[in-house]
Amino acid sequence: MLRYSFVAISAVAAINLLLTDIILVQILLGLCLATSLGIAIIWPEPLPPPPPPDLWSDAPETKDREMKICSSCGKAVDKKWSMCPYCSKKV
C-alpha cells in the first residue's frame, strides 16, 4: 500500500511539473518525482503476517511408537526391529 502512495505522489509531481513555469518549483518537483519513483521501485515487499498461535497442535503426551532397549548398547530402538541400528546386534 505504501508503494502505491509513492507512485501517486510521483504522478501528482509529474502533473505539477508540466503545469508550472517557475524554475525553482520545477526543480523541486523534479526532485520529488525522482525520489518518489525511486522509493516506489526499491521499497521492499512487506513481510507476511505471523501464523496464528493455534496453528500447531500440541505434542502428544504418549509416543506414537513403542520402543524397547537394546541389550548390548542400551539405546532405544523401535519395538518391531530385530537388529539395533546403532551397534548392529540382535535386539
Q: Does any domain span residue 33? A: yes
* C-alpha cell of residue 76: 532405544
Q: Does any domain span residue 28? A: yes
CA of 31: how far to CAs of 3, 5, 12, 25, 77, in Å?
A: 18, 17, 13, 10, 70
Q: Does any domain span residue 27? A: yes
pLDDT digits (tens, 9 = 90+) for 40-61: 888 887 778 888 877 776 666 6
In one letter, which amino acid is 46? P
Q: Does any domain span residue 51? A: no
**What is the total count of domains within the chain?**
1
Closest among 64, 60, 86, 63 to 73, alpha carbons compared: 86
pLDDT digits (tens, 9 = 90+) for 5-33: 999 999 999 999 999 999 999 999 999 99
Q: Does any domain span residue 47? A: no
Q: Which residues of 69-79 are buried (b: 16+ CB within 10 A; e: fewer)?
A: ebeeeeeebee
Owning domain of residue 32: 2-42
Res. 78 pLDDT band, cuts 50 70 90: confident
